[in-house]
Structure 1
Amino acid sequence: MGFWLLLVLSVASAAVGGWIISGQIATMTSTLTDGTATGVEVYVGQSLVVVGAALLGAGVLGILLAVALTAVRALIPTAAPVVVEPIDWTAENDTTIDETPASPATTTAAPADLAADAEPTAPEAETATTR
C-alpha cells in the first residue's frame, strides 16, 4: 500500500509541478514579448516557477525511489509458502467432550473409598467393618 501511495503521490507532484511551470513560463513569455508585462507577472511568475520546479523535482525523485524499491524487492528472495493440508470439516469427530461438570466426590477418591472397593483380607476385614 505504501509503495503505491508513494508512486501515485510522486506522479501527482510531478504533474502539478510541470503544470505550474508551463503555465507561468507561457504567461511570462507572452507578456514579456508583447511588452505588457507587469511586475506581478514577472516577479511572482518567477517565484511560482521555482515552486513548480520543487514539486516537479520531488515528484521525479519519488518516482525514481519507487523504481529503486521495486528493483530491491525483486532481488530479495521471498520465502516459499508452506502447503498445509486443508481441514476436512465434513469428517466426524471421534472424541466427545462431556460438558456436564464433575462433582468433587467423583473426581477425587479418598484412600478409604479405595480400600472399601477392594476385597478385604482377614485383618483388613475387621477394620473395614468397624469404620
Structure 2
Amino acid sequence: MHTRTRLLRSIPFWVLVVGSLASIVYGVLQLIEKLSVMETTLTDGTATGVEVYVGQSVVVVAAILIGAGIVGLALALSLATAAKVFAPVAPAVEVIDWDADEVADEEPAAEALETEQPVAEELDADAAEVEAAPAR
C-alpha cells in the first residue's frame, strides 16, 4: 500500500514550485525580448537611450528572476527529499478478529504448563543431590 506524503498535499509546496517555474519562464521571456530588441536597434543604428540603458536594467532584473526561480526549485527539491528521507514510519497494527470462535492463546499456555513440570522435577532432583553430597 503506497501512501502519499503530506508534502505532496501541501498547498504552500505547490505554490513554491509553480511560483518558481513562473519566475523562470517570465525571466527568460523578458531576457530574450530585451536582448533581441537591443541587438536589432544597436546593429541598425536606431537605438535610443531608453532601449539601451533601460534595456540593460530589465535584463538584470530578468536574470535575477531566473536565479530566484532556480533557487526556489532547488528548495522544493530539497523539501521533497527531506520529506521522503524523514517520513514517519507507519505503526504496525495487529488486526483482532472479534468474530473468532476459539482463542489461540489458550493452547500455548497449556503447553507451557506441561513443559514447566518436568523442569521443576529436574530442579528438585538436582537440589536433592546437592543436599546428599558429602561436605568437605
Band of TM-score, shorter chain: 0.5 to 0.7
Q: Which amino acid aligns with 2:36?
A: A
1:68 to 72, 78, 95: 78
1:36 to 37, 40, 46: 46
- TM-score with structure 2 setting the length: 0.58
Q: Which residue of 1 aligns with 2:4?
A: none
Task: Give the Å deviation of 1:61.
Answer: 0.6
In structure 1, stretches of 5+ residues that fail to align are: 86-131
Looking at structure 1, the residues matched to 61 and 85 of structure 2 have their Cα atoms a distance apart, in angstroms, of 36
Alpha-carbon displacement from aligned partner over 1:47-82 (angstroms, at most 9, x marks no partner): 100111111111111011111111111111323167
- 1:59 has 2:57 as partner: no
Looking at structure 1, the residues matched to 78 and 94 of structure 2 have their Cα atoms a distance apart, in angstroms, of 35
Q: Which residue of 2 aligns with 1:108?
A: none
Q: Which amino acid aligns with 1:9?
A: G
Segments of 4+ in structure 1 off by > 2 A? 81-85
Q: Percent identity?
A: 48
Q: Which amino acid aligns with 1:38?
A: T
2:36 to 2, 23, 26: 26
| Larger Rg, first or second structure (1 or 2) | 1
What is the CA RMSD across the aligned residues, in angstroms?
1.7
> In 2 relative to 1, CA 80–36 (structure 1 residues): closer, same or farther, beyond 3 Å?
same
Higher helix share: 2
1:45 to 50, 55, 68: 55
- TM-score with structure 1 setting the length: 0.60
Looking at structure 2, the residues matched to 48 and 78 of structure 1 have their Cα atoms a distance apart, in angstroms, of 46
Looking at structure 2, the residues matched to 24 and 77 of structure 1 have their Cα atoms a distance apart, in angstroms, of 45
Looking at structure 2, the residues matched to 52 and 43 of structure 1 have their Cα atoms a distance apart, in angstroms, of 14
Tell me the matched-pair count: 85
> In 2 relative to 1, CA 75–30 (structure 1 residues): closer, same or farther, beyond 3 Å?
same
Q: Which amino acid aligns with 2:13?
A: F
